[in-house]
Structure 1
Amino acid sequence: MSDPKQILANMPDALERVGHEGIWRITSQLKNSRKCDIYLAANPSTSQKLALKIFRPGGTSEQAPGLQFRALERLQKATPRVLAPKVFGFSSENNAILMEWIEAETIQATLWRSILVPSKRKQAVQKAGAWLRQFHEVSHIALQPLDGNKLAQKLVTQLQKHGQTTDFDAIQQSIGKFEAAAKTLDMNVPHALLHGDFTVRNVLMQSGSTVGIDIWGARMGPVFEDAARFVTYAAINTPFALSHSPWHPDGPLSQSFATGYGKDLLDVRCKSWTLLMWYQFMRRWIVYSARQSKGNSVNLTRWQVKRAEAGSLILQSWLEDCF
């Protein structure tokens, strides 16, 4: 079954948990992607809104929808509660999650709105860092070895998935250097069980508070991976991209985020952080280069490719200078 109206109707227990009477209607489709479809459900009697997330068959692993639901439940029950969408129910038959709809501004929009006020940009990034620290602590942070080879293999897989990009040869060469650098690093770094797609569009600002969306199911991984993902997206797609070197560890972007997260765990001058930043910039370079080869959003994509490539190569040179 893939009809959102029927799926919603077949989740009466979840709707009862919402706590309001009335008829719920699917009003619009919010997202259509390879992995899932998200629909907006509204109750005309109360003006309340919900999000119905339906996972596509084959778009993700069979366990992912249930794991994602349980991760959101875990955040909901945490003390203090980590701000993320409240969940009301899960349909294992339809791989669908019914959750709270968050009305809030993306941090990307907040940063662009504060383009002339550096102090407000730093404050917003610091709040994002503080939210991510609280999020990770729900799953108990622990030191574990950094698996650089696993990161390198992810880059290889991603490049293969996107095929012949405009910068294929240069990217392939850089991945080879990443693999070589990853093999030289033997260190323990903070790991956590919960993670998410924390881009500048998935971290929201709501009445002065920070809310994270697009939470993944549980899997043990380095906290630097989430932190570097956010910083990389901000360095390419927000006003920080207009500065000369937004990826620099002593720059306002990295320092503000590290201050919010806590420099006791997030040392932006260590080799492992540089490796994770390089990894995330490489991922962006692959994706934007693939988009450019397809002629998508030509001017914006060209800018994104240049920033992602520059960040990748500079971070690569910094790490190579360490050895």
Structure 2
Amino acid sequence: MRAPGVAVLAFDGISPFHLAVPSLVWGPEAPTGDLEPWPITVAAPEPGRLRTTAGYAIDVTAGLDALDTADIVVVPWWSHPESPAPSAVSAALRAAHERGALVVGLCLGVFVVADAGILDGRAATTHWRWADTFRRRFPLVRLQPEELYVDEGDVVTGAGATAGIDTCLHLLAGRAGQAAANRVARRIVAAPHRPGGQAQFIELPVPVPDEDPLTAVLAWIQSRLDSPHSIDELAARAHMSRSTFTRAFRARTGTTVHHWLVAQRLARARHLLETTTLGIDTIATRSGFGTPARLREHFATALGTTPTRYRTEFPAGPPERRRIST
């Protein structure tokens, strides 16, 4: 199967970092023999030279017609969150979405996607700093500013800055498998799996691991995902009361102990399904779900599939022989 074609929409005054994120995760930066790069075209409402926030200009030769054939359309940035996007851009996004393209809004680019009406009645996220502005402009959208990314199937939104990397890794995992996303994350030195529900920002800077009991507990859990864990046990290991531990855990991860554990165990199960020929019983045990029935239940809830079907779609094999499919 061919790799999906991607169109990334750029505007005058674009942030080079945001513009580069899709290519960083999906594009030709991948080392030879890793994964087949996704073809990426940068397009602009009016092709030509665009200014950037970094003080230099870029030349964009493609126009909005690049959205006509793209499998994925990404809007990574918008410099005017108080103002509507150009009507031609909204029309092009609606047309792409209606013919079946996946539309992705990152950071303030979510405002542009919302201007096209694609998010009406749906959940979405954007940069937390502009949450009030977004709610005022788009009351029909269920904004979830605490989320890193929100996947609605045919439209995906990501929060600010580095959350765009999380969003693109999430989409890569959905099409090429978790192991492929993990390899790319390792290449770009990024976290391989941050659930969409993880908080956009941490209340306090992350302390040095040796001096931070919560960091040590998180690492300890990840090395023992196949074992049961109670909040009381984990709180005692962190030398905290149960209530203090649960508050600190949510502040650090943006979610509960239970939901974090399920996300980590799903990631472990997906990795084992993709990279080994272990039986489903063994994978259920090693990932901490205990029984195949519980593993299937969580796969159905989180991924809408079964472990067996997932393994068929992402079979084990040498990384250089894996191809990205749509």
- If the length of structure 1 is used for normalisation, what is the TM-score? 0.27
Which structure's residues are more often helix, by fraction? 1
TM-score relative to the length of structure 2:
0.27
- Larger strand percent: 1
